[in-house]
Amino acid sequence: MMLHLDREAPLQHQIYDQLKHAILSRRIKGGTRLPSSRALADRHGVSRNTVLIVYEQLLAEGYLETRPGAGTFIGRSMPELKESGAQYPEPRSARPVRLSRYSERLSGLDVSTLNRGTGLRYSFNYGSVSAADFPADIWRRLLLREIRRRAGKPYLYENPQGLPELRAALADYLHRGRWIDARPEQILIVNGSQQAIDLALRVLVDPNSAVVVEEPCYSGARLACEAMGARLLPVPVDADGLDPALLPPVETGVRLAYVTPSHQFPTGGVMPAARRLALLDWATRAGTYILEDDYDSEYRYEGRPVEPLQALDRAGQVIYSGTVSKVLAPGLRLGYMVLPPDLVQPFLRAKQLTDRHTASLEQAVFAHLIRDGHFERHLRRTRRRNQRRRDALLAALTTAFGTEVEIAGAKAGLHLVVRFRGISATLAASVAEAAAQHSVGITAAEVRAGGDGASFVMGYAGLDEADIRQGVALLREVVQSFHRRSQRGRGGRLSKPVP
Amino acid sequence: MMLHLDREAPLQHQIYDQLKHAILSRRIKGGTRLPSSRALADRHGVSRNTVLIVYEQLLAEGYLETRPGAGTFIGRSMPELKESGAQYPEPRSARPVRLSRYSERLSGLDVSTLNRGTGLRYSFNYGSVSAADFPADIWRRLLLREIRRRAGKPYLYENPQGLPELRAALADYLHRGRWIDARPEQILIVNGSQQAIDLALRVLVDPNSAVVVEEPCYSGARLACEAMGARLLPVPVDADGLDPALLPPVETGVRLAYVTPSHQFPTGGVMPAARRLALLDWATRAGTYILEDDYDSEYRYEGRPVEPLQALDRAGQVIYSGTVSKVLAPGLRLGYMVLPPDLVQPFLRAKQLTDRHTASLEQAVFAHLIRDGHFERHLRRTRRRNQRRRDALLAALTTAFGTEVEIAGAKAGLHLVVRFRGISATLAASVAEAAAQHSVGITAAEVRAGGDGASFVMGYAGLDEADIRQGVALLREVVQSFHRRSQRGRGGRLSKPVP
C-alpha cells in the first residue's frame, strides 16, 4: 500500500484520509495486517508519532484492531460487500424511489404558483408588500430591546403554543380590531397561513375526507388539500364570495370548509353578513369545521368591515387564521390561529410534532409592537397607503382601458381582478408572458366560468403610485397588441418590449 | 326596540353594536321594518347623522335592506335558524369532535416528554444550553448588519429551500467540519430537527409502513412515527449504538430507519465505523432510507469524530439532519438537511406546503456567522466549556456515588446516562420527583432491559461547574434516602427538601 503525500499540507490528515479510504473502498481487506507504525513512517519519511496518532484514531473508530504481539490489522468486523468486486454499491438513483402516498400525490401537483416574486420592475403579482411600508425603525428598536431583555437568558425551547405575551397581545388586538373574543389559551402561533392550513388538514382531514373549497380557490390551500388526498368539493363564488346555497347537503359528512370571507382569493368578493350566517348555520347542521383564512382583512376601503365568521360563531366551529404577511412582511413567517376550545389540544400536539414551536424572537417583537400601540398605528398608515395605491390602480386602469376592462374585488385587500373583455380567456397566459417581457408582472386568474375575457389578479401593495401608473401604461400596450391579434383573427407580432 | 346608550362612550359604535346584536340574536326578525333614522335619533336624543351612518354600515354589510318608499328593514335573506326559539345553536363541545386518524393517534400519545425546561435551579434536563455560551454580542452585531443590509428591501417570500447564502455557507462548513460533501442544492433549511423528522415521515412513510427506530429512541422521533401510524420496528442499542446485526431482514420493506449514530439518544453510545458500514450495507440491500439525526455531533471529547453516515454513503440513501439547537440555541428553530439528490424535490414540495419556508432573518444571520468564521470559533469555545462541564459532572458523580453509579454515554454530546445500581428501576420516576423537590432536575431514562438499577439522563450544557457540583451533592441526598428506603424494604421518609 502506497500513500501519496503532499509535503505542503498537514501529513497526519492525509495519512488518515488515505488509509481510511483504502479501507472503506475495500482496497485493503478486513484482517490484513498493516505495516508497523515505524515501518510506515520510515517508508514515507514522516515522523513515527504522526503515524501512531493516525493508527490510534483509526483504532478508536473501529477501522483497525490490534492483536497483542501480532500487530495492527484492518478490522475484521468491517462488513464485506455482497457484490464481489464492486467497490461501492450502485448509486441509488438507478432504482425507483419509493415515496409516501402524500409525496406521490404532491409530486403530481404544480406548486409553481406558490413561488411569488418575479423580480420584474412593475410587479403586480400578489403577495408582494412594499419595503417602504415595513416599520423598519420601530422593528429594529424593538428587536434590540428584546435582545437586551434576553441578555444572559438562554434562547430555550419556548411554550409550543406561542409566547404568552404575544397571545395576550393578540387577544386584545383581535378584540379591538376584529370583534373576536378569544382567550389567549385559544390562540396558537404558527409560521404563517400556510402552516395554519397544513395543521387544520392534519388534525381534521384523512385521505378521501370531503373538504369544501372555494371555486376558484387560493392555490396554497387547494394544493395542500390535494396532497393530503382530500376529496375536494368546490363551491362556486360570485361577487359576494362563496354562495352558501351551493354548499353540499349537510349529510355529505364534510370535514372542513376552507373559506376567505373577508376578501375571497382570488376573485376579491366580500361575503355579506347574511351569507356568513347561512354558512355557519350549514356548518352547525353538517357538523363541519370552517377554516376562515382572514389573510388580508386589515385592508378594507369601503364601509366598515363585516365581522369575521369567528366573531359570529356560537357553536365553536370556526378555526380562524390570521397572518402578518400582508401587514408587516411575509418573510417573517408569522401567523396566528384562534381555535375552538375543543381543538386547542389536538392542534397544539400537531404543532409540537411538526416543529415544536415558532421561532421566538419575532414573536416577542410582534408582541411589543402590538402592546406599545405601534402595530395599530402602522395599520392605519398602511391602510391609507394601500388605499392610495388601489385608487391609483383603479384610475389608471379606467383611463387606459375604459369600458374594455371590468374590475372586481377592489373594495378590500391588496389585489383586485381585471377582466379584459376583448381578449379570449384562452390567451390569458400569453398576455401575462408578453407583459413580463415589458417588465410588467401580472398573474392569469383562474376565475369561474361564464363572463368573457381574460382575467388577471393584480396586486398593488408592492408598488408606489407612479410605478402603478407606468405599469398600467405598459400593460395597455401589451393588451392592445392582443386586441389587434384578435381583430386580425391570427397571431400578430407583439410590440417591441420596452428596454 | 330599545337601545341602552352610555353617554360617556362613542354613540355610533354602541348603536351599531346593539342593533346588530339584536339582528344576530334574532330578537328582531328578518323583514321587520326599522324606525326611520330620524325617529330613532329623536327617541334616543342622538344626532340623526349618527344613526344614518350606522344604518348605512349595516346596509353595506347586508344586515339591513331598503325598499324604495317603504323604509329600512332587517334583511330578509338573513337565514332563519332551524331550531325555533333557540337564539344560538348549542355549543359544539356537546357533540363529539371528529378528528383525523393522525390526530386520533396523536391524542393517545404522551407528548409531555417534549416539554423541556423545568425552571429548577439545578436543571440537568437535556435540551438546555447555557445563556452564557450564546454568542450574544456577535449575534446582535450580525443581526444589525443584516437589518441595515435589508433597509429598503422588503421581507418577501424567500427561496423555499432556504437562503442560498446560508446553504452555500453550510455546504462549506459541513465539508470542513463533518466530512460531508454536499452541494448547496442538496441542502434544505428547516425549523430544527423536529421538522426534519416530520418531513422525512411525510415524504417517505405511510400509515402501516415499517420504520426502524432505535430502542430506546428519542421521543420526538418515536412520537412522530406513532402519530403517522407507522409500524415501528425497534432495534436495540448497546454501548456502540444501534446494533446492525439485529436489524430486520432486508425483505421486510422498511421505508425509513431513524438513527443517532454520533451520540445515541438517550443512551449516549457512539456508533463505530464498522457498524456504520454494516448499517449502510443493510440499507442498500433493503432499499431503505436512513434518517441520520446528527443533533449534537459537534461535541466529542474523546478521539476524533467518526464520519457521519452521510459521508460514508455511496448509494444516496442517507438523509442527514443537523441543528443549531445544541450549538447556538433551540429557540432559534433552525436546522438543515442534506438530501440525496432524488429526494430534494419531494422534500422541497412538502416543505412549501407545510409552511413555505423558514423565517429568513435568522437564516441570514447564521450564514454571516459561518462565513465570517465566528461559528467555528464559537464551536471550539463551547466544545471546551462543555468538556469542562462534563468533566465536572463525571468527577462529582464519582466523588458522590463511587461504585454505586454506572456512567455511560459521556464521550460525546451534552448529556450522559447514570444508573444507580442500588435503586430499583421501578423507582426512577419517584427519584426524579424527589430530586425536583430539591431543585434538581433529572429525567428518568427508558433504557434497555437487562442491567439493574434506576437510570437517568443528565444533561449538563445549561449549568456552570459550581452548579453541577452542588446539584450532584443534592442529588446524593435524594439517592441516599432511596437507598435507605430500599434497605428498610419499605417506603421511608425523604429527607426534607432544601429550601
DSSP-H helix ranges across A25-163: 37-44, 48-60, 101-107, 136-149
CA pair distance B344, B342, nearest whole angstrom: 6
* Contacts for B177 with CB less than 8 Å, ≥ 6 apart: B298, B376, B379
Peptide bond into B216 cis (omega under 30): yes
- The CA distance from A424 to the nearest CA of chain B, in Å, is 32
Peptide bond into B497 cis (omega under 30): no
End position of a domain, from candidates B353, B372, B391? B372
Nearest to A169 by CA among A365, A334, A380, A379: A365
CA pair distance A377, A370, nearest whole angstrom: 9
Q: Residue A446 falls within a domain, yes or no?
A: yes
CA pair distance B323, B292, nearest whole angstrom: 12
CA pair distance A140, B165, nearest whole angstrom: 22
DSSP state of A8: T
Q: In this predicted structure, what is the pLDDT of residue B422?
A: 87
The amino acid sitting at B82 is K
Q: In this predicted structure, what is the pLDDT of residue A85?
A: 35
Task: Tell me the CATH number at B168.
Answer: 3.40.640.10
DSSP state of A300: B
If asked whether residues B38 and B162 sit together in one domain, one would say no
Q: Which residues of A touch B163 (CB under 8 A)?
A: none
CB B79 within 8 A of CB A274: yes
End position of a domain, from candidates B74, B93, B127? B74
Residue A493 clears pLDDT 50, i.e. is over it = no
CA pair distance A198, A217, nearest whole angstrom: 15
pLDDT band, very low/low/confident/very high, at A447 (cuts 50, 70, 90):
low
Instruction: Strands of A39-132 (E only): list them.
Output: 64-67, 71-74, 122-123
The amino acid sitting at A476 is R
CB atoms within 10 A of CB A327: 23
Q: Residue B214 falls within a domain, yes or no?
A: yes
Q: In this predicted structure, what is the pLDDT of residue A90?
A: 40
Nearest residue, CB atoms, A355 vs list B102, B160, B198:
B198
Task: Tell me the CATH number at A427.
Answer: 3.90.1150.10
Give the H/E segment covering residue A466: helix A465-488
pLDDT band, very low/low/confident/very high, at A18 (cuts 50, 70, 90):
confident
The three state secondary structure string of chain B is CCCCCCCCCCHHHHHHHHHHHHHHCCCCCCCCECCCHHHHHHHHCCCHHHHHHHHHHHHHCCCEEEECCCEEEECCCCCCCCCCCCCCCCCHHHCCCCCCHHHHHHHCCCHHHHCCCCCCCEECCCCCCCHHHCCHHHHHHHHHHHHHHHCCCCCCCCCCCCCHHHHHHHHHHHHHHHCCCCCHHHEEEECCHHHHHHHHHHHHCCCCCEEEEEECCCHHHHHHHHHHCCEEEEEEEECCEECHHHCCCHHHCEEEEEECCCCCCCCCCCCCHHHHHHHHHHHHHHCCEEEEECCCCCCECCCCCCCCHHHHCCCCCEEEEEECCCCCCHHHCCEEEECCHHHHHHHHHHHHHHHCCCCHHHHHHHHHHHHCCHHHHHHHHHHHHHHHHHHHHHHHHHHHHHHHEEEECCCECCEEEEEECCCCHHHHHHHHHHHHHCCEECEECCCCCCCCCEEEEEECCCCCHHHHHHHHHHHHHHHHHHHHHHHHCCCCCCCCCCC
State the best of B23, B56, B156 to mutate against chain A, taking most chain A CBs within 10 Å: B156
C-alpha dist (Å) from residue B465 to A35, A311, B122, B394, B473 = 45, 54, 11, 11, 12
CA pair distance B414, B326, nearest whole angstrom: 8
Residues B101, A206: C-beta atoms closer than 8 Å: yes
Residues A332, B361: C-beta atoms closer than 8 Å: yes
Residues A147, B153: C-beta atoms closer than 8 Å: no
**Residue with the larger pLDDT of the pair A129 and B447:** A129
CB atoms within 10 A of CB A18: 17
CB of A75 within 8 Å of a chain B CB? The answer is: yes
Range of the domain at B278: 135-372
Q: What is the pLDDT of residues B390-405, one digit of tens each?
A: 999 999 999 999 999 9
User: What average pLDDT score do residues B470-499 get?
Assistant: 72
pLDDT band, very low/low/confident/very high, at A156 (cuts 50, 70, 90):
confident
CB B258 within 8 A of CB B211: yes
Scanning A338-397 for CB atoms below 8 A from B yields: 340-343, 345-346, 349-350, 352-362
If asked whether residues B286 and B408 sit together in one domain, one would say no
- The CA distance from B68 to the nearest CA of chain A, in Å, is 21
User: In degrees rounded to 5, what are phi and psi of residue A166?
Assistant: -75, -40
* A214 DSSP β-pair partners: A235
Q: What is the pLDDT of residues A76-113, one digit of tens each?
A: 766 554 433 334 344 444 456 789 999 999 999 999 87
Nearest to A396 by CA among A375, A379, A410: A410
Q: In this predicted structure, what is the pLDDT of residue B90?
A: 40
pLDDT band, very low/low/confident/very high, at B42 (cuts 50, 70, 90):
confident
CB of A436 within 8 Å of a chain B CB? The answer is: no
Scanning B134-193 for CB atoms below 8 A from A yields: 134, 136, 139-140, 143-144, 147, 150-158, 160, 190-192
Secondary structure (DSSP) of A311-346: HH-SSS-EEEEEESTTTT-GGG--EEEE--HHHHHH
If asked whether residues A346 and A468 sit together in one domain, one would say no
Residues B359, A95: C-beta atoms closer than 8 Å: no
Nearest to B266 by CA among B463, B455, B464: B455
Q: Which residues of A touch B243 (CB under 8 A)?
A: none
CB B459 within 8 A of CB B126: yes
Nearest residue, CB atoms, A117 vs list B140, B156, B302:
B156
Q: Which residues of B touch A319 (CB under 8 A)?
A: none
If asked whether residues B297 and B383 sit together in one domain, one would say no
Tally the domains of chain A: 3
User: In degrees rounded to 5, what are phi and psi of residue A70?
Assistant: -115, -20
CA pair distance B383, B300, nearest whole angstrom: 8
Q: Which residues of A touch B89 (CB under 8 A)?
A: 281, 284, 314-315
State the best of A95, A111, A114, A157 to mutate against chain B, taking most chain B CBs within 10 Å: A157
Chain A, nearest residue to B194 by Cα:
A355
End-to-end CA distance of chain A: 64
User: In degrees rounded to 5, what are phi and psi of residue A425?
Assistant: -60, -30
Scanning A290-329 for CB atoms below 8 A from B yields: 302-304, 306, 312, 314-317, 328-329
Q: What is the pLDDT of residues A24-70, one digit of tens each?
A: 766 677 788 888 888 888 888 888 988 988 898 888 778 888 887 88
Q: Residue A35 falls within a domain, yes or no?
A: yes
End-to-end CA distance of chain B: 64
Residue B166 clears pLDDT 70, i.e. is over it = yes
If asked whether residues B344 and B272 sit together in one domain, one would say yes
CB of A236 within 8 Å of a chain B CB? The answer is: no
Q: Provide the Cα torsion A157, A162, A164, A168; round to 10°.
A: 170
Nearest to B193 by CA among A474, A458, A195, A353: A353
- The CA distance from B344 to the nearest CA of chain A, in Å, is 12
Cell numbers 370583534 correspond to what residue? Answer: A179
If asked whether residues A354 and A408 sit together in one domain, one would say no
Residue B82 clears pLDDT 50, i.e. is over it = no
- What ipTM score was computed for the predicted complex, to two decimals? 0.84
pLDDT band, very low/low/confident/very high, at A154 (cuts 50, 70, 90):
low
User: In degrees rounded to 5, what are phi and psi of residue A321?
Assistant: -130, 125
Residues A316, B93: C-beta atoms closer than 8 Å: yes
End position of a domain, from candidates B44, B74, B104? B74
Residues B102, A350: C-beta atoms closer than 8 Å: yes
Q: What is the pLDDT of residues A463-489, one digit of tens each?
A: 999 999 999 999 999 999 988 776 665
Q: Residue B458 falls within a domain, yes or no?
A: yes
If asked whether residues B139 and B281 sit together in one domain, one would say yes
Cell numbers 332551524 correspond to what residue? Answer: B82
Q: Which residues of A touch B111 (CB under 8 A)?
A: 349, 352-353
Q: What is the pLDDT of residues A394-434, one digit of tens each?
A: 999 999 999 999 999 999 999 999 999 889 888 999 999 99
Q: Residue A448 falls within a domain, yes or no?
A: yes
If asked whether residues A15 and A64 sit together in one domain, one would say yes
Cell numbers 404558527 correspond to what residue? Answer: A190
Residue A495 clears pLDDT 50, i.e. is over it = no
DSSP state of A411: S
Cell numbers 438507478 correspond to what residue? Answer: A94
User: In degrees rounded to 5, what are phi and psi of residue B213?
Assistant: -125, 160
If asked whether residues B345 and B406 sit together in one domain, one would say no
C-alpha dist (Å) from residue B125 to A402, B332, B463, B475 = 69, 19, 10, 13
Nearest residue, CB atoms, B24 vs list A101, A127, A312:
A312
C-alpha dist (Å) from residue A219 to A222, A240, A348, B368, B498 = 5, 20, 25, 34, 59
Nearest residue, CB atoms, A157 vs list B81, B116, B209:
B116
User: In degrees rounded to 5, what are phi and psi of residue A149?
Assistant: -60, -35
Q: Residue B497 falls within a domain, yes or no?
A: no
User: What average pLDDT score do residues B86-103 get?
Assistant: 62
User: What average pLDDT score do residues B6-28 get?
Assistant: 78
Residue B151 — left, alpha, or beta (φ > 0 → left; ψ -120 to 50 → alpha)? beta
User: In degrees rounded to 5, what are phi and psi of residue B75?
Assistant: -55, 130
CB of A79 within 8 Å of a chain B CB? The answer is: yes
* A336 DSSP β-pair partners: A189, A322
Q: Residue B5 falls within a domain, yes or no?
A: no
Cell numbers 382572514 correspond to what residue? Answer: A294
Nearest to A325 by CA among A213, A175, A417, A194: A194
Q: Which residues of A touch B358 (CB under 8 A)?
A: 191, 333
Q: In this predicted structure, what is the pLDDT of residue B348?
A: 96
- Across chain B, what does the average pLDDT equal? 88
* Contacts for B335 with CB less than 8 Å, ≥ 6 apart: B189, B190, B191, B192, B193, B195, B196, B321, B322, B323, B324, B325
pLDDT band, very low/low/confident/very high, at A449 (cuts 50, 70, 90):
low
If asked whether residues A329 and A409 sit together in one domain, one would say no
- Whether the CA torsion A110, A114, A118, A123 is positive or negative: it is positive
Residues B60, A140: C-beta atoms closer than 8 Å: no
- The CA distance from A11 to the nearest CA of chain B, in Å, is 16
If asked whether residues A367 and A237 sit together in one domain, one would say yes
If asked whether residues A50 and A152 sit together in one domain, one would say no
Q: Residue B123 falls within a domain, yes or no?
A: no
Task: Tell me the CATH number at A68.
Answer: 1.10.10.10
